[in-house]
Amino acid sequence: MSARDLVVLGSASAVPTRFRNHNGYLLRWDGHGLLFDPGEGTQRQMTLAGVSAHDVTWICVTHFHGDHCLGVPGIVQRIARDGVPHPVHAVFPAAGAVYWERLRHATAFVDTAVIRERPVSGDRAEIAAGPFTLTARRLSHPVEAYGYRLEEPDGVTMLPAELAARGVRGPLVRRLQEEGRITTRDGRTVTLEECSVRRPGQKVAFVMDTRLCDAAFELADGVDLLVIEATFLDEDAALAAEYGHLTAGQAGRVAARGGVRRLVLTHFSERYRADDEPRFAAQAAAAGFAGDIVVARDLDRVPLPRRRRAPAGGGRADG
C-alpha cells in the first residue's frame, strides 16, 4: 500500500534551536511528495529523514518569510543535481514572485527544466492535481500568506455480498464501477449504489502563519490531518496577535470547530523550553479539541488516520 504520512523536517518558527530546525514538512501521498515551507536546512533534514529530492513532486510555500522559504535554493539545486526527471510543481503567493525568483536562482548551478511554477492570488485558488485537488486560501499575516488544503474525491467500497446476491462477478464488477449501471445475463439491471458504500476521500490542511480568520476555519473543516502553527502559548496571546500568529489554544479551537481527526501543532517560538511542550497539547485540548494531538518534533513521521468508511444504510464510521 502506498504511504500517506507526514514527515516533519523542521518545527521551529523564526529562529531555529538546537533541537528544532526551520520549517519543513513532506506530505507523502501515494507516490506524490508535497514539500511545504522548506526553511533553511531542509535539504540536510531530508537526508536525516531518509527521503530524497526524487520524492518531491510539489513545493508549496505559504509565504516569503525566511523560516518558510530559505531552503528553496538548496531543494531546487538538489532536484537539478540529482536529475529528478518528473515535473515538480511550485505553488507560492503571486505577490511574492520577486522573492521566488531570487530563491529559485539564488546561486550559479546547472539548472533544471522540471520546475513548474503555479503562483496563486486572490482570496481563494484551486489547483487540479490529478488524484487530489489543492486549494489555497489567503490567511491573516503581515505579508501575503496562504494556507493549503489537499482533498481527494470520494470513492466507493464494493460490497461482495450484494454483488453475489445480484449475480455480479468477474469483469462485470469493473464495468459496474466504471459505468454505474449494468444489465446482468438474466436481464436484471444493477446499479452501483446497490452494491457499494461511499468511501469518503481523505483531506489534509496546512495552516501556517496567521491570526484567527475565517479562512483558517474553512481550510480545517472536516480534515483528517491538520498541520497548524502554534507559535505561542495562550498567555502570550497579545504577542500572537501583534505578530500575526496563533496560540496553542487558538489552534485547538480551529481543530475543534472543524471536526479534525488528528492535530499536529508546530512552528514553536524559541522562547519556550522543552518542558513547555506538554502545555501546547494541554491548551489545545482545553480549547475543546478532543481528538489526537501531536506536538511535532523534527524527524517525526505522522501517519494519516485510517480512512473513514461510510457503512451501508447511511451514516459514517471509521474503518
Catalytic residue list? 67
Burial tier of 235 (Cβ tally within 10 Å: 0-12, 13-18, 19+): exposed
Contact 146, 137 (CB under 8 A): yes
Q: Where are the alpha helices (DSSP H) in 146-260?
A: 160-165, 171-179, 214-220, 237-243, 248-258
| Residue 77 CB partners (closer than 8 Å, separation 6+) | 107, 109
CA-closest candidate to residue 137, choices 216, 59, 208: 216
Q: Please calculate the CA angle 273-274-280 and round it to the nearest 5 degrees.
A: 90
| Residue 141 CB partners (closer than 8 Å, separation 6+) | 63, 209, 210, 211, 244
Distance between terminal CA atoms of the chain?
16
